[in-house]
Structure 1
């Protein structure tokens, strides 16, 4: 059996792959290959597919082509031949982009493989994933705690399992206060939210996020360069959008994920020249605070107010 999973979000793709493999039952031999691995060689994939199991166990070979450009590391003619004559092994292939049916391999996939295309609109249901993990780990959690947990995790889906293991050590029903105490918020998302609140001139949201960051022991001296990086990303994306680049082109050029680009493009970012001005002001503030010329808290808060005028 051959399954092909197509999607750009690595976490969601791997979740789908694991779900497919899990349905195949227990006691199978699994061989994983990723083109990201510097030691990757397609001949190793061929060998894993061709080698007969010593214990006659079912075998699953998983091949992950994590970047469209890495297809050059795959002998597509050989892979097409293997797929057409596959016996005694299940093959799961994950790709970031669907191969057109105008290509030989695309035609082979259509004829022989079960296609699983993860669309952008499908997203990822964090609540369902949380419920599944809670059941698997036999952890009880109140609804309020679950809502806060999902909020704190943000877009860092891979973090959910490790954070639940930490909460599981409490060996009791997890309440909202437990999550509030033990699970920190997604700092990257908070910083993006702060940057956007500043650009939207939303004082209430900006200072709420700012104080939340301070509560998590983030110092203004540390926040300034992170906010600068966030604004710089916004500046780069806004510039490329104005030049007519598509989301996928921006992802490749800036080495950003699909979610990052989509999230940033959904914002009303204002004029690019304004963002450059804010970057310069942040740089000036950083220098002055390090020289001890101004109090770091006062300087950062005054700059926030200036941006939101």
Structure 2
């Protein structure tokens, strides 16, 4: 049996892979991992056709199977041909962190030749159920304020959810909002949202306060420029889809994000002029190029950008 693990929820894909390894009794010696974007298909298939070491089966995991996505035009005919008559001692696992394009022939062919498991991003309702179950299992008690703050800080990232619950389990006892604030950092995306909002409302004091927070968290200016550009691009996308009549849920599905994030964005996006958003995006792009080509000092250039758009 060969498998496809597909979807944006990396925690659940990883957990399923571990289950498959256990089901097929795969040890480290017989686990081989490839990256489709870096390794040649000839090399991968050569490994698939070799025998396992002192075991009934071996497992070949092919990560980053971008041929499932809409933008990749690869047909991977050699892989399809191999899976039509696979080596019975090799278990192939195709792994893709993204959305499958259902229109593509390669996706349809591989769905027939492998057992497919999909792991899309969980909903807020599913996330909240998991938190309740894990808290009960770990004997963690949170008051309502702590629970709300925990939900905000972990978002829909299951890797982060379980990591932060491990911290709270070590703390033990009654978990308050103050405990959450002390132990669990705010997602960088939240601070980016606050920064973009402060820039638009010309709140210079708030802008430079947030910049200090980013520095304390060792966020480089180049990385921050990228985060801001992604946030303003997101605002343009939400505004465009809203103007075209999309509901919040449909926008969330279209942009592969949580309904909660869309709800918070839609509340504010009406106050932004699209022309202003595009101007900021253009200025960020120019700043990024000027810094990377050495035409301007990154600190000075970023401060000039902030002052231009907040004064």
**Structure 1 position 93, deviation (Å):** 1.3
Find the counterpart in structure 2 of residue 84 from structure 1. 84
Alignment map for 1:1-309 (pairs within 5 Å):
1-7=1-7, 9=8, 12-19=9-16, 21-22=18-19, 25=22, 27-29=25-27, 30-36=31-37, 38=38, 40-67=39-66, 68=69, 72=74, 76-86=76-86, 87-95=88-96, 96-98=98-100, 103=105, 105-118=106-119, 125-130=126-131, 139-144=138-143, 145-154=146-155, 156-170=157-171, 172-173=172-173, 175-176=175-176, 177-196=178-197, 199=200, 232-236=229-233, 258-259=256-257, 267=266, 268=269, 270-275=272-277
Give the secondary structure class of the aligned counterpart of 1:259.
coil
User: 3-state DSSP class of the match of 1:25?
Assistant: helix
The residue matched to 2:22 in structure 1 has which SS?
Answer: coil
Separation of aligned partners in 2, 1:223 and 1:51 = 46
Q: TM-score with structure 2 length normalisation?
A: 0.59
Deviation of 1:192 (Å): 0.9
Check conservation: 1:17, 1:92, Cα contact below 8 A: no
1:169–1:81 CA distance, 2 compared to 1 (3 A): same
Report what 2:290 is aligned to. Answer: none
Aligned residues: 263
Mapped partners of 1:232, 1:289: distance in 2: 13
Give structure 1 stretches of 5+ with no counterpart. Answer: 247-256, 292-298
Q: TM-score, normalised by structure 1?
A: 0.59
- Structure 1 SS opposite 2:51: coil
Tell me the distance in 2 between the aligned counterparts of 1:217 and 1:101. Answer: 42
Q: Which residue of 1 aligns with 2:247?
A: none
Deviation of residue 4 (structure 1)? 2.0
Cα displacement (A) at 1:22: 0.7
Between 12-21 and 123-132, report the one with greater CA deviation. Answer: 123-132
**CA 1:274–1:130 in 2, change beyond 3 Å: closer, same or farther?**
same
In structure 2, relative to structure 1, the CA distance for the partners of 1:128 and 1:89 (3 Å cut) is farther
Change (3 A) 1:188 1:61: same
Measured in 1, the distance between the counterparts of 2:111 and 2:127 equals 31
